Amino acid sequence: MASRRLFWAAAWLGFALIIIKASHLGIPQAGDVAGYLRSLAAISYRDVLFAASVWTFGRAALALARDRPIMSRLVSIGFVAFSALICLYAVASAIAFSPLGGFLTYPLLQLVGSVRMMSSSVSAYLTPRAVFGLVVVPAAYIGVVSATVWLAPAAGARRARTGVALWTAIALWAGVGQYVYATDWATHYDWRIAENPPWVLVSSLWQAVSGGPTARLSAAFPDTDLADFNAIGSRRPAAALPLATTWTSRRPPNVILIVLESVAARWTGVSGGEYASTPTLKAEAAHGVVFDRVYAHVGRSSNSLASMLLSVYPKLDFQDYTEEFPRATQTSLAAILRDRGYRTAFMTSSNMRWAGWDTFVPAHGFSEVRDDRSLPCDTRVTSWGLADACVVDGITQFITQDRTRPFFVMAWTQQTHHPYEPTPGVPLLELVREPNIPDEYDLGRYLNVLHETDRQLARLFESIRAAGLADDTLVAVIGDHGQAFGFPHDSYLQGRTVYEEDVRVPLLIWYPRRYATPVESSAIGGLIDLAPTIADLAGAPAAADWQGRSLLDPARAPRAYFYVAQDEFKLGVREGSWKYILDLRTGVEELYDLEHDASEQKNVARVQSDRCARLRQRLAAWTEANRRQYEK
């Protein structure tokens, strides 16, 4: 009985895992059943092999308990219970796959304190069908195994034939699946669905214990390529920081840095965007400079925070910088301005407990830190935090507290984070331009929320003018990373690609004292260049350990670097009008001429092999510089 229970438990486990993966593909279209089965084999063959491997271990445990019937019974029943938990975990991972772009991992499960924050994004995918799967699949699995064990023959030729047929089916399914995966799904945007969820969890645990892999490239490169990543202090002697007492005829400007959560340049009305989602920023650009070629280095807010504040490239690994280096010793923009007599504050309408921000931010030069628990209003829209009107209220309250000293406030919005929940009572506008958008519903909500955040920024500019601070204030507005909605590439949410919608961000620096007329800059840069640029405009010397350069420096290199880290690495670099992408997992190269192909639809890597080789060298230099930087 125990052996029969073990056999059927493993068989039905493999079948259940296939059905769970089938939920990702949906219902097959008429006339394409063969193609559907091929795809299903490609994304589930690892699950079938996993079930067979688990059965092997179960048989070994059963062999050790052969002479003890009670122990054999416990082993077989324990195997069924374990397999039911695997079914539950597989369903939960399939539900999480859409918002996360991958299955549940050990680091994600560690974020127990942040589950409340994630609940809005998760609940958007927790449909009645998903809840049904979480409850019914494990229960049905136990029921089917029990019924099969009861009805199946205990021994004999029929059982032997069943075993042979089953192992033959496993071999065929795995063979076809591996072939289709290698020839088709390996380059699919959501290839991770083919992974086995339990194995992803175990391997992520091992990565957490061992420190995890980092991106490496073996290509040789000229030593001069490392100059792109040298700190400012290694390029020229660092100037001494003047103190507030050295102010002369006019004190330095107030600085407000607004970070728009998950906002790509493509979806705005500035920085090359064509949507009517940010009319305020478009109008205020008449009093500033717009940079339309600025890039986030990775689609991860925590790493973007470090790059903007510390002018540092993140470590090329899978970790959040703020958790990995909560008290990093790099000089922050806030610390430099504080040492020059500025009042400093950090505000966000989200919660600071996410990814260690509540430790990282106070440790880097901010005298006042406020989040959704301490802002002057409490209009909560999602589990991620409050309406962005609340953070604008906090800024306006802060800037009028003390008129005797300049101030620096860094504010982070959150309402444009998934699930893009509109502010109650604000009517929705028709802002989607293209027809037949794959994710038109979410894009429409996203653009409306961005429009509402922009409307709140209009209140901020009005407050600055009403307080008589317009000529003495610099306002920088930038996105932390992009967001994808299924076009022009088959990708969704954030951090899964390095195409323009994922990494190119808007940057407007509003500064009426300097810009009486609008200016558009074609300087190419990244988030690490933001702090040096603001310091340059504020008249403060850049810190010696900053890796970025002012976007106003005509001698700066015309390049920006970015990467993807989601259980795999993709590296990218923009140089001039060319953008090169390298998938370290598959070795696939992509090259686009953005001047003539802004949507990155024509890969010219094959006909531009020399250019690819040169840009590959630059990426190799980046990985080596990053290794040296973090091994210190």
For 456-512, what is each residue's pLDDT tens digit? 999 999 999 999 999 999 999 999 999 999 889 888 888 889 999 999 999 999 999
Candidates 508, 546, 481; CA nearest to 295 is 481
- As a whole number, mean pLDDT of residues 378-395 equals 91
Q: Please state, in angstroms and rounded to a whole number, the distance separating the CA atoms of residues 577 and 235.
A: 26
Check residues 102 and 221 and name the one with the higher pLDDT. Answer: 221
pLDDT reported for residue 188: 77
128 confidence band (pLDDT: 50, 70, 90): confident
- Measured CA to CA in angstroms, residue 79 lies from 20, 65, 490 at distances of 20, 14, 40
Q: Is residue 386 within 8 Å of 421, Cβ to Cβ?
A: no
For 568-616, what is each residue's pLDDT tens digit? 789 999 999 999 999 988 889 999 999 999 999 999 999 999 999 999 9
Q: Which helix (H) or strand (E) holds 529?
A: none
Q: Please state, in angstroms and rounded to a whole number, the distance separating the CA atoms of residues 288 and 284.
A: 7
pLDDT reported for residue 6: 87
Q: Please state, in angstroms and rounded to a whole number, the distance separating the CA atoms of residues 383 and 363.
A: 26
| Percent residues over pLDDT 90 in the chain | 62
Q: Please state, in angstroms and rounded to a whole number, the distance separating the CA atoms of residues 632 and 626.
A: 10
Q: Is 410 left (phi over 0), alpha (psi -120 to 50) or beta?
A: beta
pLDDT reported for residue 498: 94
pLDDT reported for residue 236: 53
- As a whole number, mean pLDDT of residues 13-36 equals 87
- Type of residue found at 197: P
For 509-545, what is each residue's pLDDT tens digit? 999 999 999 999 999 999 999 999 999 999 999 999 9
pLDDT of 283 above 90: yes
- Type of residue found at 591: L
- As a whole number, mean pLDDT of residues 38-45 equals 93
Candidates 445, 422, 440; CA nearest to 486 is 440
For 224-243, what is each residue's pLDDT tens digit? 999 999 999 876 544 443 33
Candidates 270, 274, 272, 265; CA nearest to 284 is 270
pLDDT reported for residue 156: 58
Q: Is 553 exposed, middle or buried (0-12, 13-18, 19+ CB in 10 A)?
A: middle
- Type of residue found at 255: V
Q: Please state, in angstroms and rounded to a whole number, the distance separating the CA atoms of residues 507 and 530.
A: 9
Residues of the chain with CATH 3.40.720.10: 254-512
Candidates 92, 337, 229; CA nearest to 573 is 229
314 confidence band (pLDDT: 50, 70, 90): very high
Q: Which range (196-205, 225-234, 284-293, 354-363) has the least confidence?
A: 196-205
- Type of residue found at 205: L
Q: Which helix (H) or strand (E) holds 145?
A: helix 128-151
Strand partners, 256: 409, 475
Termini Cα distance of the chain? 60
Residues of the chain with CATH 3.30.1120.10: 561-632
Q: Please state, in angstroms and rounded to a whole number, the distance separating the CA atoms of residues 317 and 309.
A: 19
154 confidence band (pLDDT: 50, 70, 90): low
114 confidence band (pLDDT: 50, 70, 90): low
- Residue whose structure tokens are 């062999």: 63
- Measured CA to CA in angstroms, residue 114 lies from 117, 355, 566 at distances of 5, 8, 20
Q: How many residues does the chain have?
A: 632
Mean pLDDT computed over every residue of the chain: 88
Q: Is residue 504 within 8 Å of 295, Cβ to Cβ?
A: yes
For the domain spanning 254-512, the CATH number is 3.40.720.10
State which CATH number among 3.40.50.150, 2.60.40.10, 3.30.1120.10, 3.40.50.2000 fits the domain covering 561-632: 3.30.1120.10
For 162-212, what is each residue's pLDDT tens digit? 778 888 999 999 999 999 999 988 877 678 889 998 988 888 777 767 666
pLDDT reported for residue 101: 66
Query: How is residue 221 annotated by DSSP?
Result: -
- Type of residue found at 508: L
